[in-house]
Amino acid sequence: MSQRPPAPNGRVTSAKIVIAGGFGVGKTTLVGSVSEITPLTTEAIMTSAGVGVDDTRQVPGKTTTTVAMDFGRISIDRDLILYLFGTPGQTRFWFMWDELVRGAIGAVVLVDTRRLADCFAAIDFFEHRRLPYLVAINCFDGRQYHDPQDVRDALAISTDVPVVACDARNRESTKHVLISLVEYVLTMRRSRAVAPA
Which residues, listed in sequence order, are joined to residue 71 by a DSSP beta bridge?
Answer: 40, 85
Distance, in Å, from the CA atom of 24 to the CA atom of 41, rounded to the nearest integer, reads: 14
31-36 mean pLDDT: 92
- Provide the pLDDT confidence category of residue 89 given band limits of 50, 70 and 90: low
Which residues, listed in sequence order, are joined to residue 106 by a DSSP beta bridge?
Answer: 17
- Please tell me the predicted confidence (pLDDT) of residue 31: 93
Count of helices and strands (H, E) across the chain? 5, 7
What does the pLDDT look like over 41-85, one tens digit per residue? 666 565 555 555 555 555 555 555 554 578 899 998 888 999 999
Helix intervals (H) in the chain: 27-34, 97-101, 120-128, 148-155, 171-194
- Please tell me the predicted confidence (pLDDT) of residue 171: 95
* Residue 60 near residue 52 (C-beta atoms within 8 A): no
- The whole-angstrom distance between residue 160's C-alpha and the CA centroid of its chain comes to 18
Torsion angles phi and psi, residue 107, rounded to 5: -140, 155
Sign of CA dihedral 53, 55, 60, 64: negative
Distance, in Å, from the CA atom of 144 to the CA atom of 148, rounded to the nearest integer, reads: 9
Distance, in Å, from the CA atom of 152 to the CA atom of 87, rounded to the nearest integer, reads: 22
What single letter denotes the amino acid at residue 167? D
- Please tell me the predicted confidence (pLDDT) of residue 146: 84
157-179 mean pLDDT: 95
* Residue 134 near residue 19 (C-beta atoms within 8 A): no
Q: How many CB atoms are located within 10 Å of the residue 25 CB?
A: 27
Residue whose C-alpha is closest to residue 85's, from 162, 28, 127: 28
By DSSP bridging, strand 133-138 and strand 104-111 are parallel
* Residue 20 near residue 110 (C-beta atoms within 8 A): yes
